Amino acid sequence: MINLVLFGKPGAGKGTQAAFLKEQYQLVHISTGDVFRYNIKNATPLGKLAQSYMDKGDLVPDQVTIDMLEAEVEKNPAANGFIFDGFPRTDAQAQSLDDFLAKKEMAVSGTIALEADDDELVARLLKRGETSGRPDDQDETKIRNRFDEYNQKTAPLREYYLAQGKFHSVNGIGSIDEITARLKAVIDGL
């Protein structure tokens, strides 16, 4: 079983590469954003709970997010493994994920950070913003603010996973096929 944590700044190519990894290794892709949207749209008990925090302008507690991810894992008992995209974002969340997986007699196999220069990522996102209609991809100041948030909150996970010998940095600059080949080399070596 392969369980991967995929992270990187906005525009690093996580979504593009997750689609490849899902097919190549027959993994279930769990995107935290997609899980939240599904639960809220379908008014599940967890979706209603998350919405109640969001309506007050509060952050959704980690445990609610963990409960949503656990439900997604439970829906796929025959999976060859999972790609966790957008979670964990903090050391506390990483520990919660490790604890949950341990209860299922599983573990994170490796974490892969797609690394790319900020200016390159800004250019990618602005180009994506021309066609996606996403307002957060059309304003360089907002894009750089998202990078700052990533640096402050998510980048420290590098140390958490380095301590476990599970952190892998992959150059996210190049053609999609070149980046895919780099990812495959890392995963095949796990």
Residues known to be catalytic = 14, 89, 128, 134, 146
For residue 104 the two structure tokens come to 């299922």
Rounded to 5°, angle at Cα 41 from 19 and 7: 35
Distance CA 89, CA 138 (A): 24
Backbone angles phi, psi at 85, to 5 degrees: -120, 115
- The partner residues of 6 in beta bridges, in order of sequence, read 85, 112
